[in-house]
Homo-oligomer: A and B are copies of this chain.
Amino acid sequence: MAKLIPNRTLKGFRDFLPTQAIARERLIDTAKAVYRSYGFAPIDTPALEYAEVLLGKGGVESDKQMFRFEDQGGRDVAMRFDLTIPFARYASLNMNEIGTPFKRYHIGSVWRGESPQRGRYREFTQCDFDTIGTRSTASDVETLLVIHDLLDRLGVENFTIRINNRQVLNGLLEQFDLSDRSAEVLRALDKLPKIGRDAVLEELSERAGVPTAAAEQILASVELEGEPESILAELESMTTASEAGQSGVATLREIFDIVTRSGISAGRVRLDPSIARGLDYYTGTIYETFLDDLPGIGSVCSGGRYDNLAQLFTNQELPGVGASLGVDRLLAAFEELSLIDGRSTPCRVLITQFDRGRLADYVGIARELRSAGIDVELYPDDKAIGKQLKYANRKGFALAILAGADELDAGIRQLKVLKTGTQIEVEAERLVDEIKERLADERSSIGSVEIE
């Protein structure tokens, strides 16, 4: 016998079993439906790009983590590590075809050779949407609504989208003549939840060179809490001398005004002046999204407005706004919140085989159900019926159809409700309706489990 090849996967990479893959497809299908409902169109870009396209865009760390190599033609190539840089390259290359405004979503794998940790993989899915070629607040509002509808349609009850606007802090810094310190200030503020107020104050004055009074006021602006309108009034009065600051406040005010009038529950959107997101890329509205039942996993959908998507590739200015759904993080959260059922089949109904000689009848029943819109699997062999039912239970089917030669000849089918073991006799003509009714019941009971 030939020596077997080890069937291992690479460190940091993983296989998806059906249960996980079904949940992931459900999530991605929902995201696509929501993106499409707002007019975002799909695009795709290659997994491999010239290394020079990707290098230096995500910082030193990204460069080190990149899967980079020389291809058969001697080209220096690398696997994409996010979908933003490829989108910038894409937009600049295809601008004549796509035009502006341009709304796209892009769902695909990206690769980073990070040290694998719990929940961190070297291959993962990104799920981005962006509107480019406009500075309109309408697109900022829509970005928020898309995030809202996404989580809502995924059945998440309790979540909070936190928003802020980078222009407010820019305005404050401008007033203190500290605009050139924004990167250092942001870096210090980012640490607030971890190192606390005093340490941040110290870092602001010592490392960022911000005078104490200014540092105090910057911190005060970030720590504002309460109703959006009262926070906005405070921020407005703190930035009266800065056009940028006033514009940031006005944009936030318009977003809250429209969101409130759109019937979005007020608890789901919060103005949070403490969120800062990244160092230099974002320039306007920024978004982070937390699951109220599992805030510790961090933001599951983040993004913001930027001034210029593709400046490394084109001289054409491309302002835009967008966000990225954290597919793997959200799936991990759903698993932790027991929102994923253990089914490993996409079907709810299994047709068993009693009598090998009647295969044509079983295939006929399956086709009849499918043409009525019922997904159904036919067990391939006429093994002992107990074995077939065990398979049905293990996979998570709801109903099994049993019919021997006598029943087939009499136009009768036995329908077994797998959870309870109840078995009822159904006439052939009633089968579709009976199954539809039972699956409708089944669905609502799954729904109520999810809400618990």
Please list the residues of chain A having a beta carbon within 8 angstroms of any beta carbon in chain B: 1-2, 4-11, 13-18, 21-22, 24-25, 32, 36-50, 52-53, 64-65, 67, 69-73, 75, 77, 79, 89-90, 92-94, 97-99, 101, 103-104, 109, 111, 113, 122-123, 131, 134, 136-139, 141-142, 145, 149, 254, 257-258, 261-263, 310, 312-315, 344-347, 350, 353, 359-360, 362-364, 366-367, 370, 375-381, 391, 394
Contact = CB atoms under 8 A, between A and B. Distances in A.
B41 A367 contact: no
Contacts of A16: 42-45
A215 to B, nearest CB: 33
A121 B411 CA distance: 53
B6 A21 contact: no
Contacts of A39: 345-347, 350, 375-378
Given A38-B366, A38-B378, A72-B113, 5 more contacts: A9-B45, A18-B41, A18-B104, A38-B377, A69-B69
A183 to B, nearest CB: 18
B43 A17 contact: yes
B261 A13 contact: no
A67 B5 CA distance: 20
Indicate the member of A65, A261, A380 with the most B CB atoms within 10 Å.
A380
Nearest to A44: B16
Contact of A262 (B10, B42, B367): B367
Given A37-B370, A45-B15, A103-B377, A93 B138 contact: no
Contacts of A5: 52-53, 312-313
B10 A50 contact: yes
Given A25-B32, A263-B367, A94 B15 contact: yes
A94 B17 CA distance: 8
Contact of A67 (B52, B71, B138, B353): B71
A138 B359 contact: yes
Given A113-B71, A377-B39, A4 B315 contact: yes
A351 B341 CA distance: 39
B15 A46 contact: yes
7 closest A-B pairs by CB: A39-B377, A69-B69, A18-B41, A13-B46, A36-B346, A16-B44, A21-B42
Contacts of A44: 15-16, 21, 24
Contact of A123 (B24, B47, B353, B367): B47
Given A313-B4, A367-B263, A359 B258 contact: yes
A364 B261 contact: yes
A20 B266 CA distance: 40
A93 B11 contact: no
A315 B1 contact: yes
Contacts of A109: 47, 109
A136 B380 contact: yes
25 contacts: A4-B312, A4-B314, A5-B312, A7-B92, A7-B93, A7-B314, A9-B45, A11-B73, A15-B43, A15-B46, A17-B97, A18-B42, A25-B32, A41-B346, A47-B47, A47-B123, A101-B380, A103-B377, A109-B109, A131-B380, A137-B359, A138-B380, A138-B381, A141-B359, A149-B370
A288 to B, nearest CB: 22
Given A94-B15, A138-B359, A313 B43 contact: no
B22 A41 contact: yes
A312 B141 contact: no
A137 B382 CA distance: 11
Contacts of A136: 380-381
A17 B41 CA distance: 9
A354 B231 CA distance: 31
A97 B21 CA distance: 14
Contacts of A52: 5-6
Nearest to A53: B5
A245 to B, nearest CB: 22
A50 B25 CA distance: 26
